[in-house]
Structure 1
Amino acid sequence: MKTIEYVDLQYLNRVELLSILNKQKVRDHLVTHDEFDETLLDEWIKGKVKVNQAYGCRVRGIKVDGAAAGWCGIQFENGSYELAIVLDPKYWGVGLGVFKEMMRWASELDHSEVVLHLFNTRPEYRFLIKMADRVYESTIFGQKYASYVLKVPGA
């Protein structure tokens, strides 16, 4: 069984994180943006550290068996608290576990609902449809998403 660890984002290995964020398989599922270099990565991390300090938010780096695997967070964007999970393709199998942990965080942070936007390149997930109060198509930065409004357990 893989050991998943959540760490402050700024403590992830930056070389490994840079490689993950610039992989085409990862970029295919995210908002279109320039590839990261060391300077852009530093700015991005500083921005996520600020998000982590905001009320109701939590952003973490993800390690699997000690190696950088990606990042995740609950962020306030577009008028709601949104979940973000970005994983190196070799760790996509841990995504459900990360999602479940984030839903626990949402409960700890007293959210009644959170929104998960999945880029239209992603398949439909039946378990998300079943747990969603509402599913709708959204457009963010000119790109289409399936947006799932999820009730937080225990809320």
Structure 2
Amino acid sequence: MDLEFKRLTEASLQDIISLNNHPDVLRQMPLGSPDFDEVKAKEWVKQKDAQWEQHGYGPWAFFIDHQFAGWGGLQYEEGDADLALVLHPHFWGSGKAIYEEIIKRAFTTMGLDFITILLPLSRTRIKGVGRLGFQPDGEVEFDGVRFKRFRLFAPASPECSCS
């Protein structure tokens, strides 16, 4: 598998629109809606890409074997670097490799002490998050939707209870 991380501005708007409107993807994104058009996509890409300048991190576009596979990475959420991973269903089996690369970059290149992940309360199958080392860290609300927040500390962090 040839995996590339690129800026969202390097991905086709039509690919992003298609992904963010895909019914199987929308079932996993409670803040998404099936009316994600070109106007919304342009503004969305602009806002996501601006996080790189503002915070030193932001979401990437993922390409597998030169095909757009999805987007994600670290997004600024209320002071936290929050992990997002949104893949086209054809690439759902590639999530682990992408996740591992994001984590590596977060804790080495970017030097972050921790990252978070937000899961909607409707997600009940969450044991895998704990197996990855994420610790429960309360709940937050965005646009009227409540999420469970989990935190993963960098391996060298004194707050990390990882073994």
Asked if structure 2 preserves the Cα contact closer than 8 Å seen for 1:129 and 1:135, the reply is no
| Matches of 1:25 and 1:122, distance apart in 2 | 14
| Matches of 2:37 and 2:125, distance apart in 1 | 32
Distance 1:137 1:124, change over 3 A: farther
| Matches of 1:93 and 1:122, distance apart in 2 | 19
Asked if structure 1 preserves the Cα contact closer than 8 Å seen for 2:20 and 2:32, the reply is no
Structure with more contact order per residue of length (Cα contacts < 8 Å, sep ≥ 6): 1
| Matches of 1:138 and 1:95, distance apart in 2 | 25
The answer on 1:14 being equivalent to 2:36 is no
| Counterpart residue identity of residue 27, structure 2 | D
Counterpart in 1 of 2:101? 101
TM-score, normalised by the number of residues in structure 2 = 0.84
The runs of 5 or more residues in structure 2 that have no matched partner are: 158-163
Distance 1:123 1:136, change over 3 A: same
Counterpart in 1 of 2:64? 64
| 1:17 positional shift | 1.8
| Counterpart residue identity of residue 6, structure 1 | F
Percent of aligned pairs with the same amino acid: 24
Distance 1:6 1:88, change over 3 A: same
Give secondary structure in 2 for the equivalent of 1:54: helix
Asked if structure 2 preserves the Cα contact closer than 8 Å seen for 1:134 and 1:150, the reply is no
| Matches of 2:9 and 2:101, distance apart in 1 | 20
| Counterpart residue identity of residue 85, structure 1 | L
TM-score, normalised by the number of residues in structure 1 = 0.88
RMSD of aligned residue pairs (Cα, Å): 1.9
